[in-house]
Amino acid sequence: MKKITLILVLTLLSVPLLAAQETDNETPFYACDVSLYDTPNDDGISVELEFMPANSAEEVPQYAIDLYIDGTFSNTIMVKNAGALFLHTVPVEKKGSIVRAEIFAYDTQGQRQGPIVVKEATSSAQWYFSDRVGAFIWSMAFIGLIMVLIRKAKRGQEIFIRRIAGLEAIDDAVGRATEMGRPVYYIPGTSIIDDIATLASLNILRPVAQQVATYETPFSVPIKDPVVLTVAQDVVKEAYMAAGRADLHDDGIVYLASVGQFDYAAAVNGAMVREKPATVFLLGMFWAESLMLAETANTVGAIQIAGTDSTSQLPFFIAACDYTLIGEELYAASAYLSREPLLLGTLKAQDMIKGAVIVALIISIIGMLFGSDLLMKIFLQ
């Protein structure tokens, strides 16, 4: 009985709806889906407009969107009806601006109809990037862990670090150059200072330079970027002083070889075939020039100790060089070589964070096996 009543009610209700549809068929019904919303993760100087036509291109060949900012007309955007989503960022002068979008349709005669839809949104600034919160929390945990482990290391707790062949080889490589009376070359990558790999390399330059100074071996550090040059000059100078060989230091050791990628490679290759270094360090960020430098070093009979965090260049170093520091080994080198407890403490912290990342990976995978992405969202956001 209930069912019959329901059906009757529904049928009765649908009559006016059907009637309405009939009238709609007589006059064209203009429609579109519009959303206007504050741009997420910005400083409040724009709102986003998403527009999707609901009429066919035959019915409405074109739409117009009139934009008002704080009540004053700003501009009109004409949108051809391609049946596709149209995205537009509306720039505003200041945060808190009210943006109004009025959509008009053009009928087949080119008559402007509407506004068929009106939407409003207020621009606002966000105080944090919602998609970076996870990375931020992980980073802060990392910093906290480093501080704890440094305190432990300061108290004299021993920290074990495995052997890294490329770094063990430095001693012999510099010694070899000394015996042969030929120079040591140190190339701290070809990137600029904002690349952390460059900084990692400059951190390794210090102990290498100190050793070279102690052995009184000729040394050459060709550089590509002027800012890196200034840093490298300081590092080498202080290293010579620390080795007690300030007398051997010469401002010409660290020099700007050139400023571009391949001109730098041409200059350094030329220098290498002329001066025939016995040992060449290639540590830092490299691009295609990596292999040119490594191969030229090989042709002059040099031992090459390479290392980079460029995954595209690692294969070439591995194929062409005697020793290669792979990715994170480059960053670990400064702690490894200096054996300073503070730096070793951070290396331990790095391992622990890595362990935590592996655990997060495994439990996220387990979560997914049970059909839930909750754990992944918590740990890997």
* Closest distance of CB 372 from another protein, Å: 10
- Strands 62-69 and 254-256 turn out to be unpaired
Within 8 A by CB and 6+ apart from 376, the residues are 364, 367, 368
Q: What angle do CA 41, 44, 50 make, to 5 degrees?
A: 70
* Closest distance of CB 54 from another protein, Å: 28
* Closest distance of CB 20 from another protein, Å: 41
Which CB atom, from 53 or from 189, has the smaller least distance to another protein?
189
* Closest distance of CB 375 from another protein, Å: 9
Listed residue (339, 207, 351, 357) closest to 281, CA to CA: 207
Spatial separation of the C-alpha atoms in residues 12 and 5, rounded to whole Å: 11
Spatial separation of the C-alpha atoms in residues 90 and 184, rounded to whole Å: 57
Which CB atom, from 9 or from 241, has the smaller least distance to another protein?
241
Spatial separation of the C-alpha atoms in residues 217 and 230, rounded to whole Å: 22
Which CB atom, from 84 or from 135, has the smaller least distance to another protein?
135
**The residue type at 271:** A
Residue 281 tokens read as 């360090």
* Closest distance of CB 70 from another protein, Å: 20
Which CB atom, from 77 or from 95, has the smaller least distance to another protein?
95
The helix (H) or strand (E) run that includes residue 127 is: none
